[in-house]
Chains A and B, each alone.
Chain A
């Protein structure tokens, strides 16, 4: 399948295409609608300000979904995220631009399961328009292997 990368064909390290996303107020409010996470920091600017934030900010699930998108946009729809570790170092606020830069740093065959899995380890940095690192991510993709 041409839209999928073949694990055998990848050499690491390799940079993934950058993903840029403009986060409007609507997009942040969509967090609550889509995830049912009605924590007020994601839809009520007054509440977010009472926490010491300038305005509402995207939730963890949106940041995780953005990181997953950086990885799977590159690898294709037959890949699957099998592990993801992220740290919320700063927030992405309504009005911000979210930038995802990924780098595949290692590939390995995991023989601890049967059949063995073809894995790629990826490091992703989610930054805002000021270049501030908001969310460092380590992610492992399982990828297809073609004969």
Chain B
């Protein structure tokens, strides 16, 4: 078990988890604003030659700056892997749900991108715990599906995106 990971997960019973449904997190603001360097690093990883990410002049005219790839949305809210004075908690509310499972894997994700997000924007997210499923068995093991709703705002308060994410919080084990 990875030390950092176990540190982030909260442990408890399914009944404990159900008591947390409906809870919302405090607003959490990104450590750094949306930047051209990270936009292009992500586009490079995906091998995405979309001119909007690479041609600053075109992007300025079309979007008012290099646009953040929609797929990188949740990445802006992950703190850098090291910070002076200690790393800010990266733990999404989904990991703070008390459950028995000692690991997790993502299961589904649904996002609406209401407004373009461009370089220079500073995003803030509020997360809400929507539901926790009864115990399920999958090919990976036994656990619970945890659904959260994220609402992303930029610095002027405009909601720019909303996401529903479902992850599977489980303990690995062979199917019976």
Q: Which residues of B contact A82 (CB under 8 A)?
A: 112-114
Interface residues of A in 59-104 (CB under 8 A from B): 59-62, 64-69, 72-73, 77-78, 80-88
Is the beta-carbon distance between A35 and B5 smaller than 8 angstroms? no
Is the beta-carbon distance between B172 and A36 smaller than 8 angstroms? no
Instruction: Tell me, rounded to whole Å, the shortest Cβ–Cβ distance linking B47 to chain A.
Output: 6
Residue of A nearest to B40 (CB): A34
For the complex, is A52 an interface residue (Cβ under 8 Å from B)? yes
Q: Which residues of B contact A38 (CB under 8 A)?
A: 4, 81
Residue of A nearest to B173 (CB): A52
For the complex, is A11 an interface residue (Cβ under 8 Å from B)? no
For the complex, is B156 an interface residue (Cβ under 8 Å from A)? no
Q: B65-94 CB contact bits vs A (8 Å, 1 = yes)? A: 001011111110011110000000000000
Known: A40-B2, A64-B109. A81 touches B70 (CB 8 A): yes
Is the beta-carbon distance between B62 and A78 smaller than 8 angstroms? yes
List 23 interface pairs A-B (beta carbons < 8 Å), by A numbering.
A3-B51, A27-B45, A33-B45, A36-B79, A39-B5, A41-B105, A50-B1, A50-B172, A60-B106, A61-B71, A65-B48, A65-B71, A67-B71, A69-B46, A72-B48, A72-B50, A73-B48, A78-B62, A80-B113, A80-B116, A81-B113, A82-B112, A84-B70
Mark B residues whose CB is within 8 Å of A.
1-2, 4-5, 38, 41-42, 44-52, 55, 58, 62, 67, 69-75, 78-81, 103, 105-114, 116, 139-141, 172-174
